[in-house]
């Protein structure tokens, strides 16, 4: 008999995706991730597959090591809510991290949140009314965070 190909959902089909060292992924992979982030779907072999809901992407990148990295497209950067830059830990903090990650902790969450809980929180948040002035202020803040905006503060343009 003939062989057939079967689509098997990979690790991107999850509610929370950790993209470790995202700037090391080649452009083709970044493009596929961008489709998932923008359109909440993945296309493989001409077939579109919807993403799980909710769908969150947490990503890391090493800003110091640039060899073997690929720049992230602006459209992809714009999909992230915020960026946290970390410095080296103090000695005391590093000792705490070592203790917490090398010892056994048998504590389990009593009531972990599931995807349905998060979707319900999102639904409730949409019910909260927002005054027009608040909406306008929020949009002005977003615009001020973009380096190409003429009214952006210098620290945004320098970043």
In 3D space, the residue among 82, 64, 71, 56 whose CA is nearest the CA of residue 25 turns out to be: 71
Give the whole-angstrom CA distance, residue 159 versus residue 133.
28
Q: What are the start-end ranges of the H helices in the chain?
A: 27-39, 74-77, 91-102, 115-127, 132-144, 154-158
In 3D space, the residue among 70, 67, 5, 84 whose CA is nearest the CA of residue 31 turns out to be: 70
H/E run at residue 29: helix 27-39
pLDDT tens by residue, the chain, 159 residues: 688 888 889 889 999 999 999 888 888 888 888 899 999 999 988 899 999 899 999 999 887 777 778 888 888 888 888 888 888 999 999 999 999 888 777 777 777 888 899 999 999 999 999 999 999 999 999 888 888 888 788 887 776
Give the whole-angstrom CA distance, residue 146 versus residue 149.
6
Topology of the domain comprising 1-86: Rossmann fold (3.40.50)
């Amino acid at each position: 008999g003939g062989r057939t190909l079967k689509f098997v959902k990979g690790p991107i089909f999850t509610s929370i995706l950790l993209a470790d060292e995202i700037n090391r992924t080649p452009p083709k992979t970044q493009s596929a991730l961008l489709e998932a982030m923008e359109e909440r779907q993945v296309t493989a072999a001409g077939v579109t597959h919807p993403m799980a809901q909710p769908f969150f992407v947490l990503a890391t990148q090493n800003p110091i090591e640039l060899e073997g990295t690929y720049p992230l497209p602006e459209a992809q950067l714009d999909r992230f809510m915020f960026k946290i830059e970390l410095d080296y830990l103090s000695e005391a903090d590093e000792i705490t991290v070592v203790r917490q990650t090398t010892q056994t902790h048998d504590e389990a969450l009593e009531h972990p949140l599931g995807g349905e809980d998060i979707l319900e929180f999102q639904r409730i948040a949409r019910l909260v009314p927002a005054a027009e002035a608040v909406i306008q202020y929020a949009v002005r803040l977003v615009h001020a965070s973009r380096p190409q905006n003429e009214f952006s503060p210098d620290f945004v343009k320098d970043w």
